A and B are shown apart, each in its own frame.
Chain A
Amino acid sequence: MIEVDNLTVRYGGVTSLDGMTLSFEKGTCGLIGPNGAGKTTFFNVLSGFVRPASGTVRAFGTDLLGLPHFRRARWGVRRTFQTEQAIEQLSVYDNVAMMASSLRGGARRADVLAAIEFAGIGASSYAPVGTLGAGQRRLVEVARAVAGQPRLILLDEPAAGLPDEETAHLAAVIKAIPGQTGALTILVDHDMSLVSAVCETTAVLDFGKLIAVGPTAAVLRDEHVMRAYLGTAEV
């Protein structure tokens, strides 16, 4: 459960998020919108990289904006990035184990291995990430997001640049995240087939404003959304 109220972010004269109000209940939710709509800015606010000009974010009863950024990961915020950020020097295991976790010792190890297993990376957990393919690296990031009892998982274009069959596997994994972890998952992606395959609820941002929210299929048919995306004139 995440409740965003009147969230505004400005970079100098540019208003990136303009009084955004939104709430997601549970499961996997999509967040779509044209380039520059403010999707990544929204993620940056949630993970603490950007301080908003105004607004509040409550997630599962906690005031997220009140936590320093490294505390948010301990609280349970997870995110992946548009450009994949698996650490090349480290093995798959170490990449997942670097995630902050309240677990210790054997339980922690088991949790990390379970996350790797869950993502179905298809490589040894000892393998250095530098030797993996692009799709596998994305899955390493997903495994990292799933480890350490997450509560809010933010996936920023996880399928960017992946071939169809790898996207299909990724979609299956993302779809299973809420069942596996109980975390609320928010997916940003331009791939509409991925969003409609994975998300029950979808919200649409345009120029920092929320223009539609609801069941994914209905939202994707909405004429405001079509106009924002395709630039079609009044139908």
Chain B
Amino acid sequence: MVQTTAAQKTAPAPARQGWAALRRRDTITRLSVITALLAFTLFGLPQILSQYYTDAMTQVAAYAIVALGLGMLVGRVGLYSLGQVAVLAIGAWAGARLLFATGQPFPVVLVEAGLITMLLGTLIGLPALRLRGLYFALITLMLSGAITVVLATVNFPNGGGGFTGYNGGSLHIPAIRRPSIAGGDVAYFRYAVVVAIIMFVLVYAHIKTRPGRAWAAIRQSEPAALAAGINITFYKIWAFALASFITGVAGGVLAGADRFLYSIDFHPQDSISLLAVVLMGGVYSMYGAVIAALLNSLLPAALQNWGVSQDWLTILFGIGVLQVLTTAPAGLVDQFPRDMKRLGGLIMRLVRRPAARAPAASAPPGTSGTSGTSGTSGASGAARGGKS
């Protein structure tokens, strides 16, 4: 017995060193890839993109934040919210109102819009947090509808007086203010990307520390979380508050991007397609939020530019969600590299042994091996998905 324990105790030491080295190298690679991508986004992209696509990419930056919030709710806590676009509308409203009514600097307005949205979103979500799964989705969808009705009745502030600030008769409707350093479209695109980066870092910091642990525990097993002394309601509210905050900030960014806001921009059915793209992008990775935003905001713009009917989007998203739910619960962000690796392996095998037919018979075990591992990860993902 003593020998077993001794053997078990000596084993971790070299393994730990190996892991630490691996982790370090992994972290360095990841950081350089992210830095390169961001540098390209900030400085390369505006050079090659037209005005039309620059605006679309500004939308992508704002919706990446929204998708991040929703992905966090779905992937980390298992809350399927169908009201995120309404939360976004609250943020946009608060931002627009503050920008018209006050002369505060833009970043301050963004934070305030985030805080107001956090407060309202959490208040609205509070009773809904007691619910799970389908009921939570239904409640948030209904709230989203209710908020849309209010928006459609009173309209978005357009520089008029009062809280609603709507002046239907005005001919010269003032545009929503932008930050002084980012008045132009390209500059505002960069501004939006920087805000998005800050929001991603904020969420990353949460995921890697105690709240992230608590959320992971809640999502997989509420009994285990309870037994570990995690106050489930508190951490669910925290997740909801954080998601509302960043979505509110995104609303502020969107207000500055669009310059004119209309209630029709925030249709409740957009929340459903948002959930679809978030699921397609992948809810377990932060890259998934970026992919989701590209699908949500860049793809429609591209289709419009190519003269393809927007109706195809609905069909595409429907098929995409089905595909993701059946074959890749972790989304495109997980599936695409895996499929590329498999394709690469297949090509390598074909290139290496083009003539040998007999060894090719030994190849299938290799293929079944890779598909086996992906199958298990898929299955475990499905189990995770099923749990939440």
Contact = CB atoms under 8 A, between A and B. Distances in A.
A49 B226 contact: yes
Contact of A90 (B213, B229, B232, B380): B213
Interface stretch (A20-28, A79-87, A226-234): A79-87
B4 interface: yes
Contacts of B223: 49, 81, 85
B117 to A, nearest CB: 28
B11 A122 contact: yes
A48 interface: yes
A70 interface: yes
Given A85-B221, A85-B223, A126-B23, A120 B213 contact: no
B51 to A, nearest CB: 42
A169 B226 contact: no
B8 A120 contact: yes
A72 interface: yes
A49 B225 CA distance: 12
A173 B384 CA distance: 30
Contacts of B230: 70, 73, 98, 100
B231 interface: yes
Contact of B220 (A48, A79, A89, A173): A89
Size class of the contact patch on chain B: 35 or more
A97 interface: yes
B214 A98 contact: yes
Interface string A192-209: 000000000000000000
B79 to A, nearest CB: 16
B16 A124 contact: yes
Interface in B370-388: 380, 384
A183 to B, nearest CB: 15
B315 interface: no
Interface string B5-20: 1001101100110111
A97 B210 CA distance: 8
Contacts of B231: 70
A172 to B, nearest CB: 5
Contacts of A48: 226
Nearest to A75: B229
Given A97-B213, A98-B213, A126-B23, A79 B227 contact: yes
A124 B5 contact: no
Which one of B1, B2, B210 has the highest number of Cβ atoms from chain A below 10 Å of its Cβ? B1
Interface in A171-189: 171-173
A173 B250 CA distance: 51
B224 interface: yes
Interface string A45-70: 00111000000000000000000011
A221 to B, nearest CB: 25
A74 B229 contact: yes
B16 A87 contact: no
B68 to A, nearest CB: 17
Contacts of A70: 226, 229-232
Give me the 4 closest cross-chain CB pairs, A-B, nearest first: A73-B229, A100-B229, A85-B224, A120-B8
16 contacts: A47-B226, A48-B226, A49-B226, A69-B226, A70-B232, A72-B229, A85-B221, A87-B220, A87-B221, A98-B225, A99-B228, A122-B11, A124-B15, A126-B16, A168-B4, A172-B2
Given A73-B226, A94-B212, 6 more contacts: A48-B226, A85-B227, A89-B216, A97-B213, A122-B12, A173-B5
